Amino acid sequence: MKRIVACVFGLLLVGCGATLPSPTNSAVLIALSSPTPTLISEYEPTWQPQTIIGKVVGVSDGDTITVLDASNKQHKIRLDGIDAPESNQDFGSRAKQSLSDLVFGKTVTVTSRKNDRYGRVLGKVTLDGKDINLEQINRGMAWFYTHYAAELNREDATAYGKAEAQARYEKRGLWADASPVPPWDFRRGKTAKAPGSKPPAVVVVGPIVGNRDSKIYHLPNCPDYLKVSERNRVPFVTEAEAQAAGYRKARNCPQ
């Protein structure tokens, strides 16, 4: 490694006749502008946050669109933080139509934090300042994708959780069904339970989140609001409701 670094700096200063070895699986020298070269694993993601502005020219389903930017480049966008019913699932076509009504043919702004494993841009879509991801949840056309809640900023995660809790309460969209199947379960081949069976536990992050194991609840402004595991989440509308169920407020919540 010392030989590589010395050779690199020799190239920059007076030239070096030796040929540098090809990068190995362990590390790649990628930064020469800093006083000390930076070593970063070649397998670390190199994605940088970006903003895409363009016209929506396609809607694949309730959480995926295609955006054409000013340079006529198309971007496949997966709406971040939500999961809509699959196309061949109940409410799938309605979720797609809802998203189409909101954005098709319109110019949107996509704020992206990374690509997903399918190569799609994962981002927050806004139109005239309106959060379209949030609007799909508000309409009852998508779930808050709690599995990735920790990757969102706190404001969006809190808003998405509250929106789903309210949509559930008012039985909007897919919540008109007593036991809608989450798309992540549908993709794994799981189906709704038979009539008369015990309904599945609610695991959505709501306005107040209780931890089923510790019997502690967290408000949206509490430090550990998003740290409760999905299987242990129990939503409550008010603190009184949480307390009546035997939960106590987390001690690290702001007073």
Residue type, 110: V
CA distance 96 to 73: 23
On whether the CB atoms of residues 108 and 54 are closer than 8 A, the answer is: yes
CA distance 88 to 174: 14
Catalytic residue of the set 42, 44, 78, 241: 78
Question: Dihedral sign, CA of 101, 102, 107, 108?
Answer: negative
Active site residue 251: no
CA distance 64 to 49: 19
Catalytic residue of the set 3, 44, 86, 188: 86
Phi, psi (degrees; rounded to nearest 5) at 77: -115, 125
Active site residue 188: no
DSSP one-letter code for 152: S
Active site residue 154: no
Catalytic residue of the set 120, 139, 168, 233: 120
Residue 54: both structure tokens together: 């363009």
First to last CA, the chain: 54
Residue 185: both structure tokens together: 């379960």
Tell me how far CA of residue 81 lies from CA of 143, 180, 228, 247, in angstroms.
9, 19, 17, 28
Q: Which residues are tagged catalytic?
A: 78, 86, 120
